[in-house]
Amino acid sequence: MNEWVDAFIEFGRSEKRWSPDTLRAYEQDLRQFTAFLEREFSLKEAPDFSKLSALHFRAFASALLNENQSVSVARKMSSLRTFFKYLKRKNQVDRNWLAFIPSPKTEKKLPNFLKIEEVLELMRAPDESTWLGVRDKALLEVLYGCGLRVSEAADLSREQLNARPGWIRVMGKGSKERWVPLTELATECLERYFRERPQPQDEEDVFINWRRTRLSARSIARVVARQLLRAAQLSPEWVDANRKISPHALRHSFATHLLSAGADLRSIQELLGHSRLSTTQRYTHLNLGEIVDAYRDAHPLSKK
């Protein structure tokens, strides 16, 4: 069974182009499942796939629920669904029992986002007296101004910036290419950053660390956390230092502010690189005041 897990991970890496984090999560979940089957039911060979039934999957889900929160269980069951769809295409299983086993319901939480005033304070936070501060300012402008994922910002190259003036060629999930406009302010910040930074070890890297190597996704998360704390210290009336704001919150803020300004969901979907419109709808929402305004403008009874 572990050999089929290896084949599935290689399929995700070479054909699906899943990110390292996605591959790591899939492998961890599937190794846990195969270990459970061997420990509890003495199933470990590939022909044992034919012996699997809903009983085995329910037992695994039950064991997980005794140890983990429902969010973790839902993710692991999703990993199994994807894996067994792959096995069915490879004719290793005749029936995908997971289609009959619902995942535990999880509480759907909207990602945290910043108000426009808070974004402005965040952009003023970096200390631009050093090249690292100039880098942080350019990084924040690109993350928010273009709505990039952290991995997309970390992997950004000079060629992607120079491919078309005023645009960034972004390579998203699954190596899907999209073009995102680059704001004038972000362009100015990048140009200043390129002038002031030391010579990188790889000329193509855009965002580098003090070692002059590419900035990792984790390092980008630390940069955002550090600058948010600095913004909270400089303007406590706008930013709450106790809020947990991730780099993804800047991407969510990008979509939320576009929607509030009148952009349509289809355009936002293209800018974010979502394959389904339903995903974009999860990332965009209106505050209560805007909902009330829309009701007063549109509902006939509200005018009486």
Give the end-to-end CA distance of the chain in Å, rounded to a whole number: 68
Query: Tens digit of pLDDT for each residue in 27-83?
Result: 999 999 999 999 999 988 888 888 888 888 888 888 888 876 666 888 888 899 999
- At residue 276 the predicted structure's pLDDT band, cuts being 50, 70 and 90, is confident
So which residues are the catalytic ones?
Answer: 149, 173, 248, 251, 274, 283
User: Do 126 and 40 share a domain, yes or no?
Assistant: no
Range of the domain at 81: 2-100
What is d(CA 293, CA 257) in angstroms, rounded to the nearest whole number?
A: 17
pLDDT at 218 over 60: yes
> Given its phi and psi angles, is residue 147 left (phi above 0), alpha (psi -120 to 50 degrees) or beta?
left
User: Do 168 and 275 share a domain, yes or no?
Assistant: yes
User: Do 89 and 36 share a domain, yes or no?
Assistant: yes
User: Do 223 and 184 share a domain, yes or no?
Assistant: yes
User: Do 173 and 201 share a domain, yes or no?
Assistant: yes
Picking from 100, 129, 151, the residue at the C-terminal end of a domain is 100
| pLDDT at residue 26 in the model | 94
- Report the CATH number at residue 30: 1.10.150.130
User: Do 270 and 168 share a domain, yes or no?
Assistant: yes
| pLDDT at residue 216 in the model | 92
pLDDT at 304 over 80: no
User: Do 168 and 280 share a domain, yes or no?
Assistant: yes
